[in-house]
Every structure is written in C-alpha cells, then in structure tokens.
Amino acid sequence: MFVLCQAESEISVRDSQPAIKRAAIMLILLAAIFALHIIGIILLLVATIDNAWWVTETLSTDVWARWIYINGMWNYTDLPTGSHYPQDYLQAVQASSVLACIFSILGIFVFVAQLFTLNKGQRFTISGVFQALACLSIMIAASIYTDRFHLDESIGSYGHCYILAWISFALTFISAVIYFVLRKKTA
C-alpha cells in the first residue's frame, strides 16, 4: 500500500513538471508579445506627434507644423501652402498616421480583454487584425509622404520621425504575424 502511494506520487510529479514548463513558456511568450506591441505603439505615437519627418540644419518639418530656427530660437510656424506642398496629401498623411496609432491602441486593449474572456482557439485573431491594419495605415502614410513631398530638395534629410514610422511598420508587421501564428498553435 505504502509502495503504491509512493509510486503514484512520483508519477504525478513527473507529469506536472512538463505542464509547469509549458505554462512558464506560455507566460514568457505572452509577456514578450505584449512588450513588442507596446513598443510598436510608442514608436507610432512618437512618429505621429513629433514634428520631424524632414530636417535640415535650420528646419524641422512634419505633417502638423514646422519649426524654423531664426536668430537663435526655434519658432513654431504653419506649414506652407502651395503647389509644391499639396494640402490634401498632407491631410491624408495626417489621417493615416493617426489611424495607425488608433488601431494599434485598440489592438492592445482587445488583446488584454481577450486574455480573460475568449476560448482557446480564438485568442489572438482580432488583435492580429488590428495590428495588421495599423501596419497598413502607417505604410500608406509614409509612402504618400515619400512620394509627394520634398522631391526636389537637395538640402536636408529625413528626420527621426520618418525613420521611426518605417521601424514601427516593421514591428507591427512582425507583431501581426506572431498573433496569427499563435492563433494556430493554441487552437
């Protein structure tokens, strides 16, 4: 009787160890995905809000306004209007980058909510969809900006917000792919 009990307890311990391991891996994975998503959101917000898509030594301009360095001070001025600075494309860039931020933030809320409510097979579909939409939007914004603005200007280069926009495009893409892959694995 005693020997039987001991044998049973050993078997149960051996079975629970892989289960604990699996749970730990799952937790680490979830934390990593969450961190990746948050980094994507932060980069998107910086790229949208800060005015530095195109910089020269005295100029820092973007989708919202323009900073000009005059007499030792940075001045905040409106963007120029004219044929070389099409207003409607500018507003399209504004709208797309704002939409990318909104989709990404909605995605993180949906992800956290889904962790607690949905069944296993459907866990990450919707957040994956939102991340994919955010990826698409920021790609549209950056592409329109590249194609329509600063085409003939030789002085100056793309600023940190532009670079962050493309980096966040890559991050949101990877994030969406991971969400879709995980959906398959936990089904």
Residues forming contacts to another protein in the complex (CB under 8 A) are 81, 87-88, 91-92, 94-96, 98-99, 102
- Least gap, CB of 90 to another protein (angstroms): 9
Amino acid at 143: S
Q: Which is nearer to another protein, 77 or 87 (CB)?
A: 87
Q: Which is nearer to another protein, 88 or 147 (CB)?
A: 88
| Pairwise CA distance, residues 104 & 93, whole Å | 17
Partner residues linked to 55 by β-bridges: 60, 157
Nearest CA-CA partner of 51 in 72, 79, 80 = 79
Q: Which is nearer to another protein, 41 or 141 (CB)?
A: 141
- Least gap, CB of 96 to another protein (angstroms): 8
Q: Which is nearer to another protein, 31 or 113 (CB)?
A: 113
Q: Which is nearer to another protein, 16 or 91 (CB)?
A: 91
Asked if residues 51 and 159 have their Cβ atoms less than 8 Å apart, the reply is no
Q: Which is nearer to another protein, 43 or 99 (CB)?
A: 99
| Pairwise CA distance, residues 77 & 180, whole Å | 44
Two tokens, residue 177: 């792919």
| Pairwise CA distance, residues 44 & 135, whole Å | 10
Cβ-based neighbours of 122, under 8 Å, separated by 6 or more: 114, 183
Two tokens, residue 47: 């790229």
- Least gap, CB of 94 to another protein (angstroms): 4
Residue 68 is given by DSSP the state E
Residue whose token pair is 């209007």: 81
